[in-house]
Amino acid sequence: MQPKISPLGDQGLLLDWGGALDPVVHQQVRGCWQRLVALHLPGVLDLIPAYSSLAILWDPVFLLKNYPQQLPFELVKAWISPVLAEEVAEVTAAVSPRTVEVPVCFEPPYSLDLAELAAQKQLTPAVFIERFCARVYQVYLLGFLPGFAYMGTVAPELASPRRAVPRAVIPAGSVGIAGAQTGIYPLDSPGGWQVIGRTPWRMFLPEEEPPVRLRVGDEVRFYAIGGEEFFRLLDQE
With a CB cutoff of 8 Å and minimum separation 6, the contacts of 203 are: 147, 148, 149, 172, 173, 184, 185, 186, 212, 213, 214
Is 135 in the same domain as 194? yes
Q: From CA 155, how far away is CA 137, in angstroms rounded? A: 10
Closest C-alpha to 71, from 134, 12, 30, 140: 12
Is 51 in the same domain as 140? no
Among 57, 92, 127, the domain boundary falls at 92
Burial of 144 (0-12, 13-18, 19+ CB in 10 A): middle
Is 140 in the same domain as 220? yes
CATH number of domain containing 15:
3.30.1360.40
Q: What is the pLDDT at residue 104?
A: 98
Q: From CA 138, how far away is CA 214, in angstroms rounded? A: 10
Q: What is the pLDDT at residue 92?
A: 54
CATH number of domain containing 104:
2.40.100.10
Is 74 in the same domain as 105? no
Task: Find residue 101's DSSP bridge partners.
Answer: 221
Alpha-carbon torsion 200, 125, 114, 183, what sign? positive
Q: Which residue range is the domain that position 16 belongs to? A: 4-92
Q: HSE on the CB side for 108, CA within 13 Å?
A: 4
Q: From CA 165, how far away is CA 118, in angstroms rounded? A: 19
Is 132 in the same domain as 181? yes
Q: From CA 64, how far away is CA 235, in angstroms rounded? A: 52
Among 33, 58, 92, the domain boundary falls at 92
Asked if 200 contacts 103 with a C-beta cutoff of 8 angstroms, the reply is yes
Is 127 in the same domain as 21? no
Is 46 in the same domain as 135? no
Asked if 125 contacts 118 with a C-beta cutoff of 8 angstroms, the reply is yes
Q: What is the pLDDT at residue 25?
A: 87
Is 134 in the same domain as 199? yes
Tell me the average confidence (pLDDT) per consecutive run of 10 residues in the chain, 237 residues long. 90 90 85 91 95 94 95 95 74 69 97 97 97 96 93 94 95 97 97 98 92 93 97 92
Among 75, 92, 109, the domain boundary falls at 92
Q: From CA 161, how far away is CA 235, in angstroms rounded? A: 33
Q: What is the pLDDT at residue 89?
A: 54
Q: What is the pLDDT at residue 200?
A: 98
Is 114 in the same domain as 229? yes
Q: What is the pLDDT at residue 23?
A: 82
Count structural domains, the chain: 2
Burial of 194 (0-12, 13-18, 19+ CB in 10 A): buried
Q: What is the pLDDT at residue 85?
A: 84
Is 80 in the same domain as 104? no
Is 75 in the same domain as 172? no
Is 70 in the same domain as 115? no
Q: Mark residue 113 as left, alpha or beta (left: phi above 0; alpha: psi -120 to 50; beta: remaining).
A: alpha
Q: What is the pLDDT at residue 87?
A: 59
